[in-house]
Amino acid sequence: MSDGPAAAAKVKPASDRVRVRRLHERGAYDRATIDAILDAMPVAHVGYVIDGSPFVTPTLQWRESDHVYWHGSAASRMLETVDGAEACVTVTIIDGLVIARSAFHHSVNYRSAMLLGRAHAVKDPAEKEVKLRTFVERMFPGRWDMLRPAAVQELKATMVVGMPINEASAKVRTGPPKDDEEDYALPIWAGVLPMRMEMLPPIDDPLMQAGLVPPAHVGAFRMG
Amino acid sequence: MSDGPAAAAKVKPASDRVRVRRLHERGAYDRATIDAILDAMPVAHVGYVIDGSPFVTPTLQWRESDHVYWHGSAASRMLETVDGAEACVTVTIIDGLVIARSAFHHSVNYRSAMLLGRAHAVKDPAEKEVKLRTFVERMFPGRWDMLRPAAVQELKATMVVGMPINEASAKVRTGPPKDDEEDYALPIWAGVLPMRMEMLPPIDDPLMQAGLVPPAHVGAFRMG
């Protein structure tokens, strides 16, 4: 059925750590599937380890070729920790709830990508600015050149880290519930409740100069 | 301004590990703020450690009083790992993009909760079934009793883990951008692009018996 990207099954996992164990038919290891998830959803959850304990921090990621990047304050505990250390970047898009005839077969339609690797800070200020420009332009094409230019101290206060995409997996579920054969005869409604991120009309900053209207890139933004 | 739940600032962090460092005015440690985030958003990202490396897996969580629970296959590597071990449960709701006059002040409006603790499996089959019932009822009130009853082998194949909510923090940003004072005079549109999870019309399972319509709990479901 539609449960997982069958065409992608040919690409093998890069390591046993990223091999999808549960419902392995939902797993994919090809870059096209992984990149499509990363490119559709900037929200990421970054996992890292401090004193042996796991931490998970939400942030926004963007992809450039074979790396993902994320950024934040140079004083961020998360960024400080992941620089030179192992991290896990997980990106999840929820597409719907799968409503079945038994509790057991309820599920979620989703697209998720998990990347393992060692993160590293982008040190060079010029390279850092180019990366941040790419991030802004990825979200809002044309915005960077409309903005007040970045100040030297702003770039200093901002940390950008990157991680190569070389140990990664995707997991995808689509389609209707898969109930037990004998349950299909039951008089129970079953199906999918689809969902997506909805953008609402932009709200002007109340402190804005009069007469300004949102640029096209604001109305064009989509996520998921 | 509206940046963070000021009324909640009185409750202190339960540990230094959950103290919000960056933009600490956005941090809150009161259970009302934390519980509201957990109750609004079932999607969670669970962090755990295997051989010293961090992993982050998306799942659905539900709260019962002073615990969060999540579930999955008894063969799940994530559940197997977190049983008796430290985990981090992070729940994030994205409310909008904050679009400023400088790249530096672009931000995100969000509500997130991070819970640290030791997870434990719910072993007793009767207790496990009660927990799963609560989970289903939390998502779709009235659904459990409409379903084909859970089978003994389904309960055996399902693992439920819980974690006490006693070391947790919330981080919340709301409101317009906060630009540098001198930038407010610039002729640059700034504001917020609000967003939320949108539920689309339910899709019938094509293999369903004729004449069934979605119960009210399907149409009533909201997330975020």
Tens of pLDDT, residue by residue, chain A (224 residues) = 444 555 545 799 999 999 988 788 889 999 999 999 999 999 999 999 999 999 999 999 999 999 999 999 999 999 999 999 999 999 999 999 999 999 999 999 999 999 999 999 999 999 999 999 999 999 999 999 999 999 999 999 999 999 999 999 999 999 999 999 999 999 999 999 999 999 999 999 999 999 999 999 999 999 99
Cα gap A55→A166, rounded to integer Å:
22
What tens digit of pLDDT does each residue of B162-188 get? 999 999 999 999 999 999 999 999 999
Q: What's CA A219's distance to the chain center, in Å? A: 21
Query: Would you state the pLDDT for residue A25?
Result: 84
Cα gap A27→A6, rounded to integer Å:
9
**Binary contact (A97, B139; C-beta < 8 A):** yes
Return the closest-CA partner of residue B165 out of B211, B114, B99: B114
Contacts of B136 (CB under 8 A, 6+ apart): A103, A106, B143, B144, B147
Return the closest-CA partner of residue B223 out of B138, B108, B109, B107: B138
Cα gap A38→A61, rounded to integer Å:
8
**Residue A169 and residue A27 in contact, taking contact as beta carbons nearer than 8 Å:** yes
* In chain B, where the domains are located: 6-220
Query: Would you state the pLDDT for residue A5?
Result: 52
Give the CA radius of gyration of chain A: 21
Cα dist from B156 to A135, A198, B5, B49, B73, whole Å: 46, 38, 43, 25, 9
**Binary contact (A176, B206; C-beta < 8 A):** yes
Q: Which of residues 57-116 of A touch B (CB under 8 A)?
A: 57-58, 60, 72-73, 75-77, 86-90, 92, 94, 96-97, 99, 101-104, 106, 108, 110, 112, 114, 116
Query: Strands A120-121 and B43-50: what pairing?
Result: unpaired
Please give the model's pTM, rounded to 2 decimal places: 0.94
Query: Would you state the pLDDT for residue A24?
Result: 82
Cα dist from B57 to A169, B68, B138, B193, whole Å: 12, 16, 22, 28
Token pair for A46: 């970054």
Query: Would you state the pLDDT for residue B9?
Result: 53
Cα gap B29→B20, rounded to integer Å:
9
Q: How far is the alpha carbon of A28 from chain B, nearest alpha carbon, in Å?
A: 16
Decide if domain B6-220 falls under CATH 3.40.50.11690.
no
Q: What CATH number does the domain located at A6-96+106-175 have?
A: 2.30.110.10
Q: Which of the two residues, B220 and A21, has the higher pLDDT score?
A: B220
